[in-house]
Chains A and B, each alone.
Chain A
Amino acid sequence: MNRVVEHSEEAAAFLKDEKRAAWHDETLWFVRAKRDKAAHKVADWEELRETASQIKDHTLSNLDEYLIQFEKKAKENGIIVHWASDGNEHNQIVYDILTKNNVKHVVKSKSMLTEECQLNHFLHYKGMAVVDTDLGEYIVQLRHEQPSHIVLPAIHLKKEDVSKTFHEHLHTEKDNIDPTYLTRAARKVLREKFITADAAITGVNFAIAETGGFVICTNEGNADLGAHANKIHIACMGIEKIIPKAEHLGVFLRLLARSATGQPITTYSSHFHRPKEGQQMHIVLVDNGRTRQLGREEFRNSLKCIRCAACFNTCPVYRRSGGHSYHNSVAGPIGAILAPNLDMKANADLPFASTLCGSCTNVCPVKINIHEQLWSWRQILMKEGYGGFAKKSAMKTMAAVLSNSGLYRLSGKMGRRFMGWFPALINNKLNPWSKQRDMPAPPKQSFNEWYKNNRKNG
């Protein structure tokens, strides 16, 4: 993926439409508030998070064994298991299954993995029609956009936008913005797609090593309709989606929906173990950089993520910059620590799209230390030279001044009004600080000077 625009520029553009940006912020804050309410109903919430975190830690430290166990059990269950090293191989595997079975039409429910691998693009290029059936994803697909949020894919759009898109593509009434009307219109069109498709692609929320099955969670019922209505079901999952035992589902399902939307559970939590009669069930296990991330000690526990997006909703920066500003299939704080692993150069800006406020870390249901990883990525990215020469030399100068008492006092005296050594506070028209903020009024003397004048015992 090639980055054209920095996160900060996209964010500034997003904020230009003040009303829409405020709506985006308020709406996602409301989702966060619902999450809080749901979490507070569970007295053991923090213990539940801790348990989930430990299960994931354990799983990552035995990931190879659990994958082998899962594969064996899944095969016994009659599921065909595939392994893909990267996105391309994943796409090719899916394509081969489809062509081998003469599939022309495919319905796909939400899968962030297939977004990461750009499966739709790949299949489209090969002449195969894939319809995204999650309502939000369907909307953005019609608009040739990317999802801006992993749980709420069309959260960047207003109902007027959806109405316009549906009017164009589904011939709904012009300017009818009633969400129920629009949803029903999509339901009608997609029903047709479900029952006339030849194959269904789904994601996976959890795969259980001890039973060789997998769980998919949706509210709309689209994953089930697709999977059950078709003779081929292909489920795609990152290798980190494994959990050891069935009993662990109790822990994760209690956390997932509450963290995501504040619901006690998603409407459907579907457990697939064996294909129905006459059906082919495939599962594609995908690496695509995950084993590399596993080897990065500071970042490996980003692989614990269960894709609830609580960190998106709580992130004051995400809420005010929108998902597209992250130019990565997974946006938000978690995206900002996953993306550099995929491509450091293209995503070097993302770990800086944070104030390091730490709210993400504390909503995370599996206790990923997101803000610490953002900090660590910054160190690595700058060490690798992705900050550019100018930034590095400015920082060097700043470090030199700030570590030397004499130089520091001198520059303070000369430039109190300007604080030239602190890039945040260069007082000229080009300085971003002053664009919408005033500088602090410079005092007559620094504390250091006051102290020397008023106290002797320094």
Chain B
Amino acid sequence: MGSREKILQAIKQNKPAAVPLPQVPSFSRMTDDPLNTFVETLTSIGGHVVVNDFSQLKNFLVQQKKDGLQVINGVEELADYNIFAYKTYKAIDLESVDTVVIKGKIAVAENGSIWVTDSSISNRVLPFICERLIIVIDEANIVATMHEAYEKIKIDEEGYGVFIAGPSKTADIEQSLVIGAHGPLSLQVYIV
């Protein structure tokens, strides 16, 4: 008997009598003002949020390029929409990327996270290997809680999806918070 059968048989033998699956109750939404709660929460975990000022982003990207920094853009409304050119790039060829701009699908007020998937990031390594990550999100797509978020998304619709909440961070040295661990050193979110 293989391990698969052995394990399944042991479970059958040892598991308790069936316990019903509970309904997930409708939990409190925690906020009546998802936009402000989102901004507050994301700011508190190290993100930088700009509301209704798309031109600021445009100017920022222009400056980045002027400074000779590599920008990969996944937002059609911005100049040089080039993210899909990098779809099959290896990590080693993306080491020098400074800024990646992507579109978020759903933002969650209670924890400041944003759902992004394969179709918005093109290459899975991009949001992690860049120094600076910028996410653009539509205000209408901010929900209150994770429960609402999972109602709206289908997690297996695409091969990969991730909730991103702030820049990468660690506190593994004496519990001192350091922003910028292995992933981006900063996260900017533009709400439009």
Query: Is the pair B182, A139 in contact by a Cβ cutoff of 8 Å?
Result: no
Query: Is the pair A158, B174 in contact by a Cβ cutoff of 8 Å?
Result: yes
Query: Is the pair B159, A274 in contact by a Cβ cutoff of 8 Å?
Result: yes
Q: Is B191 located at the chain interface by the 8 A CB criterion?
A: no
Query: Is the pair B175, A264 in contact by a Cβ cutoff of 8 Å?
Result: no
B156 smallest CB distance to A (angstroms): 4
Q: Is A409 located at the chain interface by the 8 A CB criterion?
A: no
Query: Is the pair B91, A292 in contact by a Cβ cutoff of 8 Å?
Result: no
Contact with B along A180-206 (1 / 0, CB 8 A): 101110010011001110000000000
Contact with B along A213-234 (1 / 0, CB 8 A): 1000001111011011100000
B: residues with CB less than 8 A from A are 2-4, 6-8, 10-22, 24-25, 27-28, 30, 41, 45, 88, 90-92, 95, 108, 110-113, 118, 123-125, 127-129, 145-147, 149-151, 154-156, 158-176, 178, 180-184
Query: Is the pair B181, A250 in contact by a Cβ cutoff of 8 Å?
Result: no
Contact with B along A151-185 (1 / 0, CB 8 A): 01111011100100000000000000001101110
Query: Is the pair B160, A300 in contact by a Cβ cutoff of 8 Å?
Result: no
Contact with B along A57-96 (1 / 0, CB 8 A): 1101111100110000000010000011100010000000
Q: Is A251 located at the chain interface by the 8 A CB criterion?
A: yes
Q: In the complex, A358 Cα to B11 Cα: how many Å?
A: 30
Q: In the complex, A181 Cα to B159 Cα: how many Å?
A: 36
Q: In the complex, A225 Cα to B126 Cα: how many Å?
A: 9
Chain A residue with minimal CB distance to B133?
A221
Partner of B164, one of A267, A273, A275: A267
Query: Is the pair B180, A187 in contact by a Cβ cutoff of 8 Å?
Result: yes
A339 smallest CB distance to B (angstroms): 19
Partner of A77, one of B2, B156, B182, B184: B156
Q: Which residues of B contact A139 (CB under 8 A)?
A: 172-173
Most buried by A among B19, B90, B168, B182: B182
Q: Is A42 located at the chain interface by the 8 A CB criterion?
A: yes
Given A47-B27, A61-B16, A83-B2, also A195-B173 (CB < 8 A): no
Query: Is the pair A180, B129 in contact by a Cβ cutoff of 8 Å?
Result: no
Q: In the complex, A239 Cα to B8 Cα: how many Å?
A: 10
The residues in A between 250 and 280 inclusive whose CB is less than 8 angstroms from any CB of B are 250-251, 253-254, 257, 261, 263-277
Given A219-B181, A250-B147, also A276-B160 (CB < 8 A): yes
The residues in A between 270 and 326 inclusive whose CB is less than 8 angstroms from any CB of B are 270-277, 285, 287, 291-292, 294-295, 297, 300
- 17 additional contacts, CB 8 Å, given A133-B182, A291-B14, A292-B14? A41-B30, A61-B18, A139-B172, A154-B173, A179-B174, A191-B182, A211-B155, A219-B171, A221-B128, A228-B123, A229-B91, A246-B156, A247-B151, A250-B145, A264-B110, A265-B163, A276-B118
Q: In the complex, A160 Cα to B167 Cα: how many Å?
A: 26
Sample (24) of A-B pairs whose CB atoms are under 8 Å apart: A27-B174, A31-B175, A47-B27, A51-B22, A54-B22, A60-B16, A67-B8, A139-B172, A152-B172, A158-B174, A180-B178, A212-B156, A220-B169, A225-B128, A228-B91, A239-B11, A244-B21, A253-B146, A265-B111, A265-B112, A266-B165, A267-B169, A268-B162, A272-B160
Q: Is A430 located at the chain interface by the 8 A CB criterion?
A: no
Given A44-B28, A135-B173, A270-B162, also A60-B15 (CB < 8 A): yes
Q: Is A134 located at the chain interface by the 8 A CB criterion?
A: yes
Q: Is A30 located at the chain interface by the 8 A CB criterion?
A: yes
Most buried by A among B16, B25, B91, B170: B170
A279 smallest CB distance to B (angstroms): 9
Chain A residue with minimal CB distance to B117?
A271
Given A62-B18, A228-B128, A294-B15, also A274-B150 (CB < 8 A): no
Partner of A249, one of B7, B125, B155: B155
Q: Is A150 located at the chain interface by the 8 A CB criterion?
A: no
Q: Which residues of A contact B92 (CB under 8 A)?
A: 195-196
